């Protein structure tokens, strides 16, 4: 991990923690700043999970309104604000998929479907406007090249589609033990990115 990329991430984490403190004191400008910073990350993220632009917008809306109303539920000792936002966004998006599936059950309508990434969408960084810890994000992308295709696929299926390990074993016809081991390995590789200040040398 490049030193300046890591420093950038750490700087960002510190600023986020300050923003959240201000949000807890009802400072709307702090929320606007946090939005400008992370909506461009969590909007495509919610789109990836729900497959719908409209629902992805709802997810981002709900996440930031919840941050405003329940900013107090974030506890510093549990990690970065970014990871907290990611967990919140994921939960909200999966919830939308689940309720839409329940509603659509038995009707002709299309249920929400995870949206498969477009070809080479995940590789090119050229024309996109990366707003959040650019250098760090690029480092992470480089680092994730160390993951095997299967490791990455398993993580994505769990993360974006909420598949359980036994679902994956059935679906991919791979023994459960192998799934578990591959996922552990994949996550181990992710963990090599020093994400949080003072966590690892």
What is the footprint of other proteins within residues 3-62 (CB under 8 A)? 21-22, 24-28, 31-32, 35-36, 39-45, 47-48, 53, 56-57, 60-61
Say if CB 46 and CB 37 are below 8 A apart.
no
Distances (CA, A) of 109 to 99, 101, 106, 112, 159: 13, 10, 9, 10, 25
Rounded CA separation 50/48 (Å): 6
For residues 36 and 110, which CB has a smaller minimum distance to other proteins in the complex?
Answer: 36
Question: DSSP character for 141?
Answer: H
Which residues within the stretch 118-177 sit at the binding site for other proteins (CB under 8 A)?
121-122, 124-125, 128-132, 136-137, 140-141, 144, 155-156, 158-160, 162-165
Minimum distance from CB of 186 to other proteins (Å)? 9
- Residue 181 CB, nearest distance to other proteins (Å)? 11
Which of 3, 124 has the CB closer to other proteins?
Answer: 124
What's the length of the chain?
A: 201
Q: Can you tell me which residue has the tokens 């506890």?
A: 75
Q: Residue 71 or 100: which CB sits closer to other proteins? A: 71
* Residues between 176 and 195 that touch other proteins (CB under 8 A): 180, 183-184, 187, 190-191, 193, 195
Query: Locate tokens 């936002």: which residue?
Result: 85
Strands (E) in 50-172, as ranges, are none
Shortest CB 191 distance to other proteins, Å: 5
């Amino acid at each position: 991990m490049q030193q300046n990329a890591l420093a950038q991430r750490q700087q960002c984490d510190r600023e986020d923690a300050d923003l959240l403190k201000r949000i807890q004191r009802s400072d709307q400008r702090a929320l606007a700043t946090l939005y400008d910073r992370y909506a461009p990350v969590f909007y495509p993220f919610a789109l990836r999970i729900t497959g719908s632009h409209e629902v992805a917008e709802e997810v981002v809306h709900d996440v930031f309104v919840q941050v405003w109303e329940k900013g107090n539920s974030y506890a510093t000792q549990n990690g970065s604000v970014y990871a907290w936002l990611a967990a919140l966004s994921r939960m909200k998006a999966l919830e939308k998929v689940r309720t839409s599936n329940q509603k659509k059950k038995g009707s002709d309508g299309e249920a929400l479907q995870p949206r498969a990434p477009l070809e080479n969408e995940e590789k090119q960084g050229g024309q996109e406007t990366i707003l959040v810890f650019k250098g760090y994000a690029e480092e992470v992308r480089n680092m994730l090249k160390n993951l095997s295709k299967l490791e990455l696929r398993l993580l994505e299926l769990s993360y974006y589609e909420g598949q359980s390990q036994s679902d994956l074993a059935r679906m991919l016809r791979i023994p459960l033990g192998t799934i578990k081991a591959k996922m552990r390995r994949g996550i181990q590789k992710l963990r090599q990115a020093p994400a949080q200040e003072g966590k690892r040398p």
